[in-house]
Structure 1
Amino acid sequence: MKKLTLLMTGLLFVLLLAACGSNSDTASGADEKEEKLTIEHELGTTEVAKNPEKIVTFDMGALDTLDKLGVDVTGVPQQTLPDYLSKYSGSDYENIGGLKEPDLEKIAEINPDVIFISGRQSDYYEQLSELAPTIFIGIDTTDYMNSFKKNTETIAQIVGKEEEAKTALTEVDDAIADLKAKAESMDGKALITLVNDGSVSAYGKASRFGVIHDVYGVPTVDETIESSTHGQSVGFEYISEKNPDYLFVVDRGAVVGKGASSAEKVLDNELVNSTTAAKENQITYLDPGYWYLSGGGLESEMEKVKEISDALK
């Protein structure tokens, strides 16, 4: 009888330990789930839960980075996706409106844990912040790489992918170093343009596409181009006069306009064809998905480096 009593006491002790362990694990899991981060960004300071389950992003660069890190999202603006992120147009993902007109009702219905925005949605920051923690991660073109890296690290910290992001950023740095070495030894100068229907804009240093000059080290054909988001409006005479050795072209109409790309037709004229870039077959039509829609993403930044590197001789 004494042995039976001891056996029962032992079993109760084991069960008690197991219960305590289970309660401890549950508490630990709850604590981990409830961990909060304080994120400072251009539009304010936002407290957000680490490892959010429901992510909404208007910024295509953030979507690119999340995709690269293997983190799924709940909602995106489906009508403005670059081709390489087209899987997010499927029914598995919620459509949260346009880049400039968020669907606030749909976002409220989703009840996300975090919302990522950039410049086009900045006017809605207060309204979105009432629905969920909202973080601005737009790129600062005057300090491109530091801005890109900070945004990437912020996203990675929130979703618990710091090491993966660190590895990916190192790969981008290495690719840029190779491109800079190539640019330093190149002959000739470049002009960056954006074609929108029949109009042409030029971009120089510290501009939307100025990373080509500022970071990659490709010489510019014109040091006086005004720095702005929309570029400096120019004519074909300007392109002919500057006579770039390399002409880089972003076709806005290919991603936001209706119908087929028009940039090649717009630039196929006597003045542009008189340039060294045209004569030496050194006009490069850059992928607008990477350059216009999703700049600042881990994949897009690597692909941009590759495009410019491949273009240089």
Structure 2
Amino acid sequence: MFKPFSTVGLAFAIVFISSCGAPSASAPTTAPAPTQAAAAATSSPIVVKDSRGTVALDAVPSRVVACSEEALDFLITLGVQPIGMCSDRVAGATSGSVFDRPYFFPKDALGTPVFVGGAESPSLEQIAQLKPDLIISGVWAEEANKRMAQIAPLFIVDTATPDYWRGPLLELGKVFGREAQAQQFIDEYDASAKRLAAELAPVTACAPNVLFIYSYAATDGTMLLGPRWTGSKPFELFGFKVLAPEGYDLSSGALPVSPEIVSEVQADIVFVLRIKTPDGEIPHYPIDDLVASLKDTRVIYQGVDSTRGSTAPYTDRFALEEIGGLLKEDGAATATATP
């Protein structure tokens, strides 16, 4: 299943071909790091709702396996360190060993989980050896979920829903006895989004229409990301309109397209997402020549960390801060070289 990267990468190369004024307010405040305190044990049964229905637990779990970056994101947000993790986005990790590869999530928040394979094809034997009392996975790993449910209670997250990641975060807050922390995160996220929307109002007023392109290969590697792409939600909170060109079926959120689409759609801003090279650079692809020829369009090249998941609480808070800082600090008059 294609899971496009979330809204903002760690590095940007920006081209502003046409501009409008940017606000001068201060950058958003970074939220405090997640606490490392373990959840207290309880003798009362815990019953919560996930994307399938209800999940029943005998007590607060202390041995949790997270089977995707998105699942892991919820634990990071709540300050819970997993004993095991799965990932389809990392290279060079040794299955059955402590994970020690470069990663999007901070090391002190991640802890020392054992790597147990890919998110959609984890090692059931290694997961069972960890003796988890909870496994968190995603709806996209349907076959793996059926097998993991035989090992331990399984909580399945789905962020492509009307309530976004809020519902799963609140339910997992109940699981770990951290309801207040989950609600505080949501309140702070909403407050940041509201503040940034006000600060960025001059930008959205003159450049409201955004076209998202995921450019993942030099040839035959262009993906159109539409309003149902979960990574578009923070931009909508800022007041931008994510374009869904007529004639393109974006019901799944993403669609392979020809690079020529960038010249066919009237957009005020074009975001071109691209995986960075190992040395942190954004490679040059033929589509760059097309976007360079656009008139009255603001183009942003977004360098993407390949180990970063799609939408989830911690990742999206990072996105809010990054995109807000980008538009405020660089402003509409900034210009740098194309990749």
TM-score, normalisation: structure 2: 0.70
In structure 2, the CA distance between the partners of 1:273 and 1:197, relative to structure 1 (3 Å rule), is same
- Structure 1 residue 206 displacement after superposition: 1.8
- Counterpart CA distance in 2 for 1:229 and 1:132 is 31
Whether 2:112 is the aligned partner of 1:95: answer: no
State the partner residue of 2:149.
Answer: 129
Structure 2 unaligned residues grouped into runs of 5+: 1-39, 91-101, 333-339
> Residue 88 of structure 1: CA displacement?
8.3
The SS at the match of 1:248 is: strand
Q: For 2:271, give the aligned amino acid.
A: F
Q: Which amino acid aligns with 1:293?
A: G
Task: Please give the alpha-carbon distance, in whole angstroms, between the structure 2 residues aligned to 1:83 and 1:262.
Answer: 17
Over 3 Å counting, the alpha-carbon distance change for 1:167 and 1:179 in structure 2 is same
Structural RMSD (CA):
3.1
In 2: Cα distance, 1:239 partner to 1:135 partner = 40
Residue 203 in 1 paired to residue 225 in 2?
A: yes
Identity of aligned residues (%): 19
Tell me how far 1:241 sits from its aligned partner: 2.3
Inter-partner Cα distance in structure 1 for 2:283 and 2:265: 19
Match in the other structure for 1:23: none
Higher relative contact order (CA 8 A, sep 6+): 2
Q: Give the Cα separation in 2 of the matches to 1:264 and 1:245.
A: 24
Determine if contact 1:246/1:283 at 8 Å carries over to the other structure: yes
Would you say the 8 A contact 1:205–1:213 is kept in 2?
A: no
> What's 2:320 paired with?
305
- The number of equivalent residue pairs is 272
Structure 1 residues without counterparts, runs of 5 or longer: 1-30
Report if aligned partners of 2:193, 2:234 keep a CA contact under 8 Å in 1: no
Contact 1:77–1:99 under 8 Å retained in 2: yes
**Rounded Cα–Cα distance in structure 1 between residues aligned with 2:285 and 2:45:** 52
Whether the 8 Å CA contact 2:215–2:272 is kept in 1: the answer is yes
> Which letter does structure 2 place at the counterpart of 1:76?
M
- On the 8 A contact 2:228/2:253 being kept in 1, the answer is no
**Superposed, which structure 2 residues align to 1:52-201 within 5 Å?**
52-77=61-86, 80=89, 83-85=103-105, 87=107, 92-140=112-160, 142-143=161-162, 146-182=163-199, 184-185=201-202, 186=204, 187-188=206-207, 189-198=209-218, 199-201=221-223
Where 1:125 maps in the other structure, the secondary structure is helix
Q: Secondary structure at the match of 1:173?
A: helix
Query: For the pair shown, which has the larger CA radius of gyration, 1 or 2?
Result: 1
**Partner SS for 1:165:** helix
Instruction: Report the secondary structure of 1:64's partner residue.
Output: helix
Tell me, in whole angstroms, the C-alpha distance in 2 between the residues paired with 1:285 and 1:79.
Answer: 21
Does the C-alpha gap of structure 1 residues 44 and 167 become closer, same or farther in structure 2, counting only changes over 3 Å? closer
**CA contact 1:248–1:286 (8 Å) conserved in 2:** no
